[in-house]
Amino acid sequence: MSTSRKNLKVPHLSLGLLFLALLGVAIAPAVLGHGQAQPAGQQQPSSQPSQTAPDAGGPNGDNGAIALPKKKDTPDDTPLPPAPAEPKFKNPEGAGNVSIRVEVPEVTVDIGVLLEKTHQFVPGLKPENFRVYEDGVQQKVEGFKRVEAPITALLLCEYAAKGYIFRIDMLNAAWAFTQQLRPQDYVAMMTFDLNTHIVTDFTQEHKQILEGINQLGNEVYMPAAFSETNAFDALAEALDRLSRIEGQKYIIMIATGIDSMSKLTLDKILARVKASRDITIFTISTDGFFEAMTQGSGGMMGGMRDMTYLQADNQMKTFSDLTGGMHFAPRFSGELPDDVRAINENIRAKYEIVYHPTNAKQDGTYRKLRVELVDAEGQPLRFQDEKHKPLKYDIIARDGYRARQEVE
């Protein structure tokens, strides 16, 4: 009996698929190890990388975790403790807010140093050449400079019926002073007899001053209204007018200095002059020629007249001395140009010294001032001319000042 065989066909797997199947069987245990917990007692293969975070310093191996810098236990930027709270002051009940301001007194002294013979200003002095005394106590100089600036001046001129010669002398002196003014200077002119009269208010147009002088000159031979002169009241009014102007001011008083019936006495006007601030008075007496012609003429009336004019000159000189000015009593008109030139040089060329007084009380008292010039060794400063002959000089400064009165 014959048996027939049927051919069984087995599918042929490609070599690629077979390789993938074997690779999957080999990898399966490793994948299972990462997805499931290891059996108890079984050690992790040594090829497994460590998952423990390394110390600072970068990666621990080729494929390990990245290490972060280790934080310090006490960082350097530890915040400081907060500042203590600002103490608070509680005002008493019913009391408002009160502010306190402390003012340190400051004194400014203008000093002129002029040669006695020629009235020339002495330049080139230094702070160490000056010694300033207040009530006999030396003060420390804290500010020093030479000042040469435009001026603010008031011409205070006597124009009364005492005789035309006095009025002519006054007009000549006022004219000579105006001729030496500079364009930046502010000047006013006021005349007085029993009353005061404003000729020209403060202006830089100096032609107005000259026109006012010319107008008075046209009337110089005509009778004036009054022969009496209230010099003290006129000076007090001039001080009041200038007190409202800031900065340094000057009064050029051109008069005989005789006072007839002022409301103010000599003591009171001297007190006003002492109390003035930033005002310097220069005086020119207009009775020099008259005194030269009549002095010593004899007789009781002549003696009384001489005493009157001498007293008037002394009063004019006192006004200037108290404020650091200068006094002139020219006997001839030819002396006026030199006199007013000396005034201009003294006004424009000065040394300014500033100090804080050792007596800081603001009690309204009058403080006496004294200025000395010394050399490098502390000895009195001496000047010589080209022939080595000694030169005398004058120190022009205020006699003193009145301290401010503290307000209660």
Q: Is residue 343 part of a domain?
A: yes
Q: What are phi and psi of 213, to 5 degrees?
A: -65, -40
The answer to whether residue 202 scores a pLDDT higher than 90 is yes
Tell me which of 300, 324, 348 is where a domain ends: 348
Domain that holds residue 143: 105-148+350-408
Rounded distance between C-alpha atoms, residue 279 and residue 273, angstroms: 9
Rounded distance between C-alpha atoms, residue 97 and residue 17, angstroms: 100
Instruction: Give yes or no: residues 342 and 354 share one domain.
Output: no
Instruction: Judge whether 130 and 110 are in contact, CB under 8 Å.
Output: no
The confidence score (pLDDT) of residue 294 equals 64
Rounded distance between C-alpha atoms, residue 209 and residue 215, angstroms: 10
Instruction: Judge whether 167 and 220 are in contact, CB under 8 Å.
Output: yes
| pLDDT, greater one: 227 or 241 | 241
Q: Is residue 165 part of a domain?
A: yes
| CA–CA–CA angle 209, 231, 263 (5° rounding) | 130
Tell me which of 329, 348, 367 is where a domain ends: 348
DSSP string, 64-125: SPPPPPPPPSS-TTPPPPPPPPPP---PPTT------------EEEEEEEEETTT--B----
Q: Is residue 31 part of a domain?
A: no
Q: Is residue 269 part of a domain?
A: yes
The CATH number assigned to the domain holding 295 equals 3.40.50.410
Instruction: Give yes or no: residues 305 and 377 share one domain.
Output: no
Its sign, for the CA torsion 154, 230, 197, 340, is negative
Q: What are phi and psi of 212, to 5 degrees?
A: -65, -40
Instruction: Give yes or no: residues 378 and 356 share one domain.
Output: yes
Rounded distance between C-alpha atoms, residue 294 and residue 163, angstroms: 14
Q: What is the pTM of this model?
A: 0.64
The confidence score (pLDDT) of residue 129 equals 95
The confidence score (pLDDT) of residue 295 equals 64
Instruction: Give yes or no: residues 160 and 192 share one domain.
Output: yes
Distances (CA, A) of 277 to 228, 315, 402: 29, 20, 9
Instruction: Give yes or no: residues 143 and 158 share one domain.
Output: no
CB contact set of 184 (below 8 Å; sequence gap of 6+): 150, 204
Q: Is residue 14 part of a domain?
A: no
Instruction: Specify the number of domains making up the chain.
Output: 2
Instruction: Give yes or no: residues 276 and 327 share one domain.
Output: yes
> Which amino acid, residue 350?
K
CB contact set of 327 (below 8 Å; sequence gap of 6+): 282, 283, 284, 285, 313, 316, 317, 320, 321
Instruction: Give yes or no: residues 309 and 199 share one domain.
Output: yes
Terminal CA-CA length for the chain: 158
Instruction: Give yes or no: residues 109 and 210 share one domain.
Output: no
The confidence score (pLDDT) of residue 77 equals 60
| pLDDT, greater one: 326 or 69 | 326
Tell me which of 348, 372, 395 is where a domain ends: 348
Instruction: Give yes or no: residues 129 and 214 share one domain.
Output: no
CA neighbours closer than 13 Å in the CB half-sphere of residue 128: 5
Q: Is residue 191 part of a domain?
A: yes
Instruction: Give yes or no: residues 192 and 181 share one domain.
Output: yes
Q: Is residue 250 part of a domain?
A: yes
**pLDDT tens digit sequence for 19-65:** 444 445 444 444 444 444 444 444 444 444 444 544 444 444 444 44
Q: Which of 108, 111, 142, 109 is nearest to 125 (CA)?
A: 111
The confidence score (pLDDT) of residue 101 equals 56
Q: Is residue 2 part of a domain?
A: no
Instruction: Give yes or no: residues 189 and 206 share one domain.
Output: yes
**pLDDT tens digit sequence for 139-184:** 999 999 988 778 899 999 999 888 788 888 899 999 999 999 999 8
User: What average pLDDT does the structure give for the chain?
Assistant: 79
Instruction: Give yes or no: residues 356 and 225 share one domain.
Output: no
Where are the alpha helices (H) located in 244-383, listed in sequence order?
266-275, 288-294, 300-323, 336-348
The confidence score (pLDDT) of residue 150 equals 83
